[in-house]
């Protein structure tokens, strides 16, 4: 390896010639300025390209802005219509909320009976589970959820009980 | 009485007096003044490396500028696992190698002039003064032959020679910049030197 290093000594000296190759005078004085200018220009182009992108992806928005530019009075009308729309949505949602509350109020008298039935149904597996505390877990055959109204003890359909509780019990092995 | 040389006063609040880490932090926040200082610190080394790889001033100028711009836009991804200088070098090296791969074998030389110290360099004068058995060549012609020989090397081999024998980087630094191990750097350097010696033996007394 040492022999090789010695063999390359002259070549290494020759390669030093490359260090004497210098760019035109004053080149480095302007270099950083050019880089910073290009960065600034790139940032400006980015902002411009965002506008162009908006123009291609949402031309309706751009034309809307143009209309507003041409007729500033329209901005007020547009803002007023937006506010009216917002108020309308709020009023409508309040009304629909009130209507749903009324529906619940109508169906409420049947709810306690239904709840008792539900409580009875759900209590049974739990009692069974406590009785067989040393056995394994067995899922109840009752469906976990049901979209069908649950039948009550008196044959009335519980309007507010659109579910059936799941029960789990342990079984002996 | 011994007169000491005046020491330049550097204000640590100005970018010129700041540490590299502080400049990088400020540049990451979009401070272009700080980044300008970073560019000034490394422009010569980055440009020179690219120039020695391409043997073309215009290409080197473009790639060097692109590398600094790319580095600025990627500053947020700079985790600080290496020095900013090494990270920047890596960007420049990768861009240069990609450029050369795209350009393939279409070499167009645009060599910089040799500075006025060249003819006073005894090592270089010794290499060309002995006319036998070496062909008589002037320094400018030798410069051209040297660049031609370098361009015959593959990009990784040329890069190792440029970084080590021209720029004076250590094997460890080159390994970090080129993302390879030191053994690879050493073997590439040996192989590249062997090849260069073969290409240039006709023009310079190298053995």
Classified as helix, coil or strand, B162 is: helix
The rounded percent of chain A whose pLDDT value lies above 90 is 16
pLDDT band at B14 (very low <50, low <70, confident <90, very high): confident
Q: Give A70 or B107, the one with higher predicted confidence.
A: A70
Q: How confident is the model at residue A158 (pLDDT cuts 50, 70, 90)?
A: very low
| Four-point Cα dihedral A64, A66, A69, A75, nearest 10 | 0
Average pLDDT for chain B:
86
Structure-token pair, residue B43: 């422009």
Q: Check if the beta carbon of residue B90 is closer than 8 Å to that of residue B180.
A: no
Task: Name which of A50-54, A74-78, A131-135, A148-152 the model is least confident about.
Answer: A131-135
What residues in B contact A19, CB-CB < 8 Å?
166
Chain A residues close to B204, C-beta within 8 Å: 10, 14
Select from A37, A104, A22 the least CA-distant residue to B118. Answer: A22
Residue A39 touches partner B, C-beta closer than 8 Å: yes
Chain A hits for B69, CB-CB cut-off 8 Å, are 35, 38-39, 42
* B172 pLDDT more than 90: yes
Residue B1 pLDDT class (50, 70, 90 cuts): very low
Chain A residue with Cα closest to B143: A17
User: What is the ipTM for the molecules in this complex?
Assistant: 0.80
Nearest CA in chain B to A24: B112
A21 closest CB neighbour out of B73, B114, B197: B114
Please name the residue of chain B whose CA is at the shortest distance from the CA of residue A3.
B207
Q: Give alpha helix (H) positions in A58-72.
A: 59-70
The radius of gyration computed from the CA coordinates of chain B, to the nearest angstrom, equals 20
pTM of the model: 0.62
pLDDT (tens digit, 9 = 90+) per residue, B109-124?
788 878 767 777 777 7
Q: Which of A1, A9, A10, A14 to mutate to test the interface with B (most CBs of B within 10 A)?
A: A14
Query: Cβ contacts of residue A33 below 8 Å, gap of 6+?
Result: B36
Model pLDDT for residues A69-122, shown as the tens digit of each residue: 788 788 888 889 999 999 999 998 888 888 888 888 877 665 455 454 444 444
What per-residue confidence (pLDDT) applies to B203? 72
Angle, CA of B84, B89 and B94, to the nearest 5°: 130
For B184, other C-beta atoms within 10 Å of its C-beta total 16
CB B69 within 8 A of CB A42: yes
A41 touching B, CB under 8 A? no
Which of B113, B151, B198 should one mutate to test binding to chain A, selecting the residue with the greatest count of A CBs within 10 A?
A: B113
Task: Please tell me if residue B117 touches chain A, with a CB cutoff of 8 Å.
Answer: yes
Alpha helices, H only, B29-121: 32-54, 57-73, 84-103
Taken in order of first residue, the domains within chain B and their CATH numbers are 18-103 (1.10.1740.10), 121-200 (1.10.10.10)
pLDDT of res. A116: 47
Distance to chain B for A78, nearest Cα, Å = 38
Cβ-nearest to B193 among A11, A13, A36: A11
Average pLDDT over residues B10-38: 87
């Amino acid at each position: 390896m040492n022999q090789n290093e010695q063999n390359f000594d002259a070549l290494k000296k020759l390669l030093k010639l490359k260090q004497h190759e210098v760019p035109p005078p004053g080149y480095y004085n302007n270099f950083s300025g050019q880089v910073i200018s290009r960065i600034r220009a790139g940032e400006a182009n980015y902002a411009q390209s965002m506008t162009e992108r908006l123009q291609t992806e949402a031309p309706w928005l751009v034309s809307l802005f143009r209309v507003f530019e041409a007729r500033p009075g329209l901005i007020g009308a547009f803002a007023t219509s937006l506010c009216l729309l917002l108020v309308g949505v709020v009023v409508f949602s309040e009304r629909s909320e009130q209507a749903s509350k009324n529906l619940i109020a109508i169906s409420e008298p049947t709810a306690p009976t239904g709840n008792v039935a539900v409580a009875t149904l759900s209590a049974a597996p739990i009692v069974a589970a406590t009785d067989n505390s040393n056995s394994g877990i067995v899922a109840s055959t009752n469906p976990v959820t049901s979209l069908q109204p649950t039948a009550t003890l008196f044959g009335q359909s519980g309007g507010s009980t659109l579910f059936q509780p799941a029960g789990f019990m342990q079984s002996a092995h | 009485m011994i007169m000491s040389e005046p020491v330049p006063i550097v204000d640590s609040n100005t970018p010129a007096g700041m540490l590299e880490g502080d400049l990088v932090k400020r540049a990451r926040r979009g401070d272009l003044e700080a980044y300008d200082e970073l560019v000034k610190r490394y422009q010569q080394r980055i440009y020179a490396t690219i120039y020695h790889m391409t043997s073309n001033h215009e290409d080197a100028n473009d790639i060097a500028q692109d590398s600094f711009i790319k580095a600025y836009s990627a500053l947020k991804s700079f985790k600080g696992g290496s020095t900013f200088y090494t990270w920047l070098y890596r960007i420049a090296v990768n861009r240069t190698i990609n450029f050369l791969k795209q350009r393939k074998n279409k070499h167009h030389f645009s060599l910089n002039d040799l500075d006025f110290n060249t003819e006073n360099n005894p090592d270089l004068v010794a290499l060309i003064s002995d006319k036998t058995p070496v062909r008589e060549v002037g320094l400018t012609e030798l410069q051209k032959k040297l660049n031609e020989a370098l361009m015959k090397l593959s990009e990784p081999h040329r890069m190792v020679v440029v970084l080590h024998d021209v720029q004076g980087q250590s094997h460890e630094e080159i390994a970090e910049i080129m993302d390879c191990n030191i053994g690879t750097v050493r073997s590439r350097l040996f192989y590249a030197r062997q090849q260069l010696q073969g290409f240039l033996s006709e023009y310079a007394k190298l053995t």
